Amino acid sequence: MAAEEAHQQTQLGDLPEACLAYAIALTSPRDACRFATVSPTFRAAADSDHVWHRFIPEDHRAIVLQPSPAKTARKKDAYLGLCDGGVPVDGDDGGCRMWLDKASGAKCYALSARRLSLPWDDGEFSWRWTRHTLSRFAEVAQLVDCTCLDIYGRLPAAALTPATVYAAYLVYGTAEGHRGLSYPDQETAVALGGRVLERHRVCLRPEDDETRKFRGAGLIAESSSVADDGNEEPRRPRMRGDGWWEIEMGRLNTTGAGGELEEEEVVASFEVLGWYPKRGLIVEGIEFRPVQS
C-alpha cells in the first residue's frame, strides 16, 4: 500500500504548465533553455510567453512587444531579437545602443565615439570623423595627430542590471601608418561616482621590439599610478568576430549597491601617459557587458 501511495505522489512534471512557467520565469534565460530539454511538458512551459515576457526589461517591453505585422507574436523571439540587434537608447541611433546578454538577460551598452570625451575633439587637428564599413554606428573617430591622448566614456549606473558583474571594453582599430600605440605606458580605469574601482596597464598594439626600445630609453611615465614593478603585465587586446579589436578596461559589480547607483555615473577611461606623437587609432566606442561566468 505504501509503495502504491508513493507511486501516486505528484511529480514535478505533473504540475500544470502555468505553475512550471511561473517557477521558470524566476530563473534566467540560460536556465529556461536547460529546462526545455527535460520533457515536452517542461519545454512548453519554458517556451511560454509568460517566461520570456519577464526576461525582457520592463523599460523596453513597450518597444519590442508593440503590435505590428512585422513583429513576431512569440515573446521568446522578441527576446532573441533584442539580444541580436539591440535598440537605440532614447532614440539616439547614432550615440548609444542597448542589447541583452543572451544567457543572463543582463543589459549591454555600446557608446559610440560621438558619445565619448576625446581630447581636442572640437577640431580637425586631433580627430577625423569618418564612416567605417565594420561599424554599427554612422561614424567612427580616427586619430589624426596628437601628443596627449585620453578617452572617457560615461554611463548612468542605474542603467545597468542589478546584481551583475560588468566589464568595460574599448572597441577600436588601427589605420595604416599608426604611430605611438605600441608603448606599454597606457592605462585604463573604471570609476563609480568618482571612486576608481580598478586601474590597469594595457597596450593597444603590443609589439615586443617597440616595448624593448621604450624600456631601454627609460620612457615609462613616472606619473603612472600602476607602477612598472612587474606586478602586472600590460593587458593585451583580442580580435573580435566583427573585425574590431577590444581591450578590457576594468570591472564593476552592481551587486548590493542598492540606491547608491541611482545618482552615480560609471566612467571608463583610457589614457596614454607619455607625451609623444600618436596617430592612426580608430575608435568605434566603449561597451559595457556582463562578465561571462
| Structure confidence by residue, pLDDT tens digits, 233-280 | 899 999 999 999 999 999 999 986 555 667 799 999 999 988 888 999
pLDDT tens sequence across 180-218: 898 878 999 999 988 999 999 999 998 876 666 656 555
CA distances from 66 to 61, 63, 90, 223 (A): 8, 6, 17, 53
Whether the CB-CB separation of 101 and 57 falls below 8 Å is answered with: no
pLDDT of residue 223: 44
User: Is residue 64 one of the residues assigned to a domain?
Assistant: yes
Query: Which range, of 7-21, 34-48, 179-193, averages the lowest pLDDT?
Result: 7-21
Together in a domain, 47 and 164: no
* Number of domains comprising the chain: 2
When mean pLDDT is compared over 115-119, 125-129, 265-269, 273-277, the highest value belongs to: 265-269
User: Is residue 7 one of the residues assigned to a domain?
Assistant: no
pLDDT of residue 10: 60
Together in a domain, 73 and 146: no
User: Is residue 9 one of the residues assigned to a domain?
Assistant: no
Domain boundary among 61, 85, 109: 85
Residue 3 grid coordinates: 509503495
Query: How far is Cα 68 from Cα 91, in angstroms, rounded to an integer?
Result: 19
Q: Which domain holds residue 167?
A: 96-220+232-290
pLDDT at 13 over 70: no
Mean pLDDT along residues 135-160? 93
User: Is residue 225 one of the residues assigned to a domain?
Assistant: no
Query: How far is Cα 47 from Cα 21, in angstroms, rounded to an integer?
Result: 8
What CATH code is carried by the domain that includes residue 260? Answer: 2.60.120.260
pLDDT tens sequence across 43-94: 999 999 999 999 998 887 776 656 555 555 789 998 998 998 788 887 666 6
Q: Taking all residues of the chain, what is their mean pLDDT, rounded to a whole number? A: 84
Domain boundary among 50, 85, 120: 85
Together in a domain, 80 and 103: no
pLDDT of residue 183: 83
User: Is residue 264 one of the residues assigned to a domain?
Assistant: yes
